[in-house]
Each structure stands twice: as C-alpha cells, then as structure tokens.
Amino acid sequence: MASKIDKRGPSYSQLEEGAKQATPLLHQSAREIQPYGKIARLPIALDEKVCAQSAENLNQALADTITLRDLYKKHHWQVAGHTFYQLHLLFDKHYGEQNELVDSIAERIQSLGAVSLAMAADVAETTIIPRPPRGREEVPAQISRLLEAHEFLLREVRTMAKQASEAGDDGTNDLLVSEIIRTNELQVWFLAEHLVDVPLVRADKAKAAGAAD
C-alpha cells in the first residue's frame, strides 16, 4: 500500500526557500561610509575643527597607548629572574589598565564624529614609541623600556590636554588628564621603584654612614 503524503508538513520547495533565507550573505564589499580623517557632524556643541584636532591628537595617543599596552604583554610573557612572579602579575595588571584606556580613547574619538585607528599595521605606522627587539631582555632593560614609553606618552598627552582645554573640548581634556595621565603616572611610580638600588635582605650600613657624613 502506498504511503500517504502528510499534507500538513512543508513542501521541499518551502524547505529550500527557508534554507536560503538562513544562509549568510558572504563576500560582501562596499565603499567606506566615512573615510579616516573626516568628521561626521554630531550635535555635541563643538566646532568641527575642534573635533578634528582632538580626534587627530587622540588617534596619536591611541596608537601609543596600544603600543605601550602590547609592550607590557610582551614583558609579561618574557620576564625572568627572582622577581618573575611579582613582575609577571604587575605587567599583566598594567596591561589590563592600558587596555581599558585604549577602549576609552577609541570611544572618545568616535563620539567626536571621527574614526579611530584599529589595525596593528596602522598603529605601527603611527606610534612614536620605539619598537623593541623581538628577543628577551633582562628585567632592568624591560622596566627601563617601559618607563621610556610612558614618558613619551605622558609628554605628548600633556600637550594635547592643554590644546583641548584651550579649544573648549572639556570631554577630551578630562579623558587625557583624569584617565590617561593619572593612570600612566601611577604605573610609572610602581615601575620606577623596581630600579632603586637597595639591598634585598640586609641594610647597607656603609652607604648609610657615607650619606650621614
């Protein structure tokens, strides 16, 4: 006996059409909706020229913050010696804090109506922080390299903060001062104390006596 066709079920053509609707539309391409370096006017009560200048400064700060962030991760992986555990954790903590700054800077750029840098190649072309060697360095050299990178960033960001303040861009000034400068200054303090030449387990009486004279 021939089986009965269940008329309540979907037909093959219906199934095929349903599958087409659920298939991702791959290999799409289109023109840019906003070129890099151009401002999309947003109602934030700032002149377009002010937004453009702040965005240009912030993209520089973003490239340098990304580079410093990645430098921390490099040293987190490659640190060695009797302070390995402490520095391994400290470098990763600072990496996380720099990563938060990266997001804050990029979001501020977008809120100004600009386009933020994102790709590694663009960051490498833009950053002013010198590229480190690929190999592993001793701990004092790692810390010195990080401190120099912080100083590069802090020097430029202080200038940017002054420009933003003079232009009336309070949001950018607040980000630069309250977040970027303060975070980097605190990290510098934590790092720099590791390069103070003091004995590990015994006070140096000879040095103390010389200092007293």
- What's the domain count of the chain? 1
pLDDT band of residue 96 (cuts 50, 70, 90) is very high
Which of 36-45, 123-132, 201-210 is predicted with the least confidence, judged by mean pLDDT? 201-210
Decide if pLDDT at 202 tops 90. no
Sign of CA dihedral 69, 70, 75, 77: positive
Share of the chain above pLDDT 70, in %: 88
The stretch 46-50 carries a mean pLDDT of 96
Please report whether residue 203 resides in a domain: no
Please report whether residue 131 resides in a domain: yes
Q: Which domain, by its residues, includes 138?
A: 48-196
Helix (H) or strand (E) holding 66: helix 48-78
Rounded to two decimals, the pTM is 0.87
C-alpha pair distances (Å), 58 with each of 50, 63, 100 = 12, 9, 15
The tokens 């700032």 sit on which residue? Answer: 46
Decide if pLDDT at 174 tops 80. yes
pLDDT score for 5: 55
Question: How far apart, in whole angstroms, are the C-alpha atoms of residue 213 and residue 204?
Answer: 15
pLDDT band of residue 3 (cuts 50, 70, 90) is low
pLDDT band of residue 209 (cuts 50, 70, 90) is low
| pLDDT tens track for 158-172 | 999 999 999 999 999
pLDDT band of residue 124 (cuts 50, 70, 90) is very high
| pLDDT tens track for 107-117 | 999 999 999 99
Please report whether residue 160 resides in a domain: yes
Decide if pLDDT at 194 tops 90. yes
Decide if pLDDT at 157 tops 60. yes
Direct distance between the N- and C-terminal alpha carbons of the chain, in angstroms, rounded to an integer: 115
Please report whether residue 23 resides in a domain: no
pLDDT score for 79: 96
CATH number at residue 161: 1.20.1260.10
Decide if pLDDT at 57 tops 90. yes
Please report whether residue 52 resides in a domain: yes
For the purposes of burial, counting CB atoms within 10 Å of the CB of 194, is it exposed (0-12), middle (13-18) or buried (19 or more)? Answer: middle
Decide if pLDDT at 10 tops 70. no
Please report whether residue 12 resides in a domain: no
> How does the average pLDDT of the chain come out, rounded?
92
Please report whether residue 8 resides in a domain: no
Please report whether residue 15 resides in a domain: no
pLDDT band of residue 130 (cuts 50, 70, 90) is very high
pLDDT score for 8: 65
Nearest residue to 165 (alpha-carbon basis) of 146, 178, 155, 153: 178
